[in-house]
Amino acid sequence: MRNNQPVSNREVEVLDDQAIVSKTDLNGNIVYVNPYFTQVSGFSEAELLGSPQNIVRHPDMPAEAFADLWSSIQGGTPWTGIVKNRCKNGDHYWVRANITPIRESGKTTGYMSVRVKAERHQIEKAEQAYRAIRAGGKHGLRIKNGQLIRTGAGSLLSRLGHVSLAMRIWLATSVVNVLQVIVCAAALMGGGGNSYGIFAATFVGLLINVFLWYTLRVSVLQPLGRALQGARSIAAGDLSCSFETESTDEVGQLVRALQQMNSNLIATIRDVRNNVETMAVATRQIAAGNADLSGRTEAQAASLEETASSVEQFSSTVKQNADNSAQANELAQNASNVAVQGGEIVADVIATMDEINSSSRKIVDIIGLIEGIAFQTNILALNAAVEAARAGEQGRGFAVVAGEVRNLAQRSATAAKDIKNLIDVSVGKVSAGMVQVDRAGATMKEVVASVQQVTAIMHEISVASHEQSIGVDQVNSAIAHMDKVTQQNAALVEEAAAATASLAMEAGGLIQAVSLFKFGTTRKVRPLRATQQPQPLKRLAA
């Protein structure tokens, strides 16, 4: 006998509106559990499926309870009793367990257990009784079909409540027959005169009792037996049974009510099954769509992240270009100012060159005047030499002076000629320089105009780069917002996918739960024969 440890004294209360449902195969291994089973027991579905049902058995449960359970379901009888089960962490919970054999085509294929909350007075009574049974000795208790029955002579009347109706009717008619025989024998022994009449009355009474017993058996016991068998089939999930009766008494009305209940269950469960299957198909489609949407949303989120990264890099580049454009604009403005200043200096140079040209021409004029003076002085020196020669000895000194003056005049003429040549060369160079300065001035004006145009263009580029930087920042913010929204959408899609998966699991659980009910071909309800008894339950609660 399995002994699950450890245990605690903490009780887990089962909710009033919930039921713990499980299904086992013929060997007692769990093949289906509903979500509330896992919630209360603490075991996961993977831990429960394939495990024996006694994985939740509590050590406080006596072996006699499970022996009675085996005996009942092996005989094809549903079992109902108060059970204490153990949670995975050692806690416990009390339930009213209803275990029914699942039959298909007259054969037991498994067992279904439905457990609901047990009332407090039922728990207290069961706990006290189970404690006494575990202690052994003369406790005066036994368990039958999950019910606690007291033994001993004092509890004879209470035990009669557990005897079958057919046995009670048979006992009642038998007692009446025995009493009639005793009365008849007493009358005959008393020496009554009409012994044949007494014997005849007794015989007729016995026949009437036998007829009444047969009538009750045919009109009450057999229909009730068929109704009981049909009700057990319905409890086991087999709705293919048919209740037929021509009686109009209470038993016939009961059979018709069972037939109507069975028909209503078939219609309801078929509708539920069809709706659940439709919901399961729709749920699978929604789950597939959510999975596809989730993948595309994740791909979009990844693309947005890459785009955001690229835009951020582009934004950084644009900002750097804007800064460079601003610096270039400032440098262009400075270059424009320098060019303007250069233009002004060139203009000053042109004016100075004009003044130099004018001064050079004046110098040429002065040199021409000096040459004229030197020529006239030379003429005068020649005239003085002629006059000194005429004067003779007295004019010799004057002739020497005149010679020197002539030499000076020649030397002055030569120097003036050299200066004139130099001045001419200078004037030519100054004239060439004037031409070049004029060209430089014109070029400088063009440079100034070009620099000013470049400055204006760079200013426009700087303004455009700044506006572009602002626009890229806005685009970056928009993409960041889109990325945030996409991430939120991805999270919502994941939640929707999880909810859909949970709904699909619930739909699968509903389909599996509804699949416990079998419709099949409608068959008449007949009592079980000896060859149709269920197979023994090996490990349901061992």
Structure tokens given for 70:
């085996």
Whether pLDDT at 420 is above 70: yes
Whole-angstrom CA distances from 312 to 342, 398, 432, 477 are: 44, 106, 60, 10
Q: Which long-range contacts (CB under 8 A, 24 or more apart) does 313-317 make?
A: 314/472, 315/469, 315/472, 315/473, 315/475, 315/476
Residue 79 bridge partners (DSSP)? 99
**Does 301 map to a domain?**
no
Q: Under a CB-based contact definition with an 8 Å cutoff, are residues 128 and 45 in contact? A: no
Give the CATH number, domain containing residue 360.
1.10.287.950
Following DSSP, what letter does each residue of 489-536 receive, concatenated? HHHHHHHHHHHHHHHHHHHHHHHHHHTT-B--S-EE--PPPGGGPPPP
Buried b (16+ CB within 10 A) or exposed e, 139-150: eebebebbebee
pLDDT of residue 89: 93
pLDDT tens digits, 150-166: 775 544 555 555 566 77
Among residues 117, 142, 160, the one where a domain terminates is 160
Number of H helices, E strands in the chain: 10, 9
- The DSSP code for 6 is -
**Does 538 map to a domain?**
no
**Does 283 map to a domain?**
no
SS3 15: coil
pLDDT of residue 70: 80
pLDDT tens digits, 464-481: 878 887 887 888 788 888
Among 114-123, 420-429, 505-514, the range with the most confident prediction by mean pLDDT is: 114-123
**Does 80 map to a domain?**
yes
Structure tokens given for 163:
């005897």
Q: Under a CB-based contact definition with an 8 Å cutoff, are residues 516 and 237 in contact? A: yes
Q: Which stretch of DSSP H or E encloses residue 193?
A: none
**Does 49 map to a domain?**
yes
Contact partners, residue 207, CB within 8 Å, separation at least 6? none
What integer is the mean pLDDT of 195-211?
A: 77
**Does 461 map to a domain?**
yes
**Does 431 map to a domain?**
yes
pLDDT level of residue 542 (50, 70, 90 thresholds): very low
Whether pLDDT at 256 is above 70: yes
pLDDT level of residue 536 (50, 70, 90 thresholds): very low
pLDDT of residue 520: 59
Contact partners, residue 224, CB within 8 Å, separation at least 6? 165, 251, 254
Give how far the C-alpha of residue 58 lies from the chain's centroid of Cα atoms, to the nearest Å: 39
pLDDT tens digits, 370-393: 878 878 887 887 787 787 777 777
Among residues 160, 177, 203, the one where a domain terminates is 160
Signed CA dihedral, 352, 353, 357, 359: sign only = positive
Among residues 131, 160, 189, the one where a domain terminates is 160
Among 2-11, 270-279, 295-304, the range with the most confident prediction by mean pLDDT is: 2-11
- Structural domain of 24: 20-160
pLDDT level of residue 534 (50, 70, 90 thresholds): very low
Q: Say if strands 20-24 and 107-117 run parallel, antiparallel, or are unpaired.
A: antiparallel
Give the CATH number, domain containing residue 142.
3.30.450.20
pLDDT tens digits, 56-69: 999 999 988 888 88
Residue 86 bridge partners (DSSP)? 92
pLDDT level of residue 194 (50, 70, 90 thresholds): low
Q: What is the pTM of this model?
A: 0.51
Number of structural domains found in the chain: 2
Structure tokens given for 231:
């009700």
Task: Give the Cα separation of 258 and 223 in Å (integer).
Answer: 12
Nearest by Cα to 98 from 163, 55, 146: 146
Share of the chain residues as helix, strand and coil, in percent rounded to the nearest 5: 70, 10, 20
Nearest by Cα to 509 from 112, 15, 17, 21: 21
Residue 101 bridge partners (DSSP)? 111
Contact partners, residue 222, CB within 8 Å, separation at least 6? none
Query: At what angle are helices 250-391 and 222-235 packed, to 10 degrees?
Result: 10
SS3 283: helix
Within 10 Å of residue 378's Cβ, how many Cβ atoms? 18
What integer is the mean pLDDT of 328-354?
A: 78
**Does 114 map to a domain?**
yes
Task: Give the Cα separation of 304 and 486 in Å (integer).
Answer: 8
Structure tokens given for 126:
């069961």
What's the whole-number average pLDDT of the chain? 79
What integer is the mean pLDDT of 510-526?
A: 62
SS3 162: coil
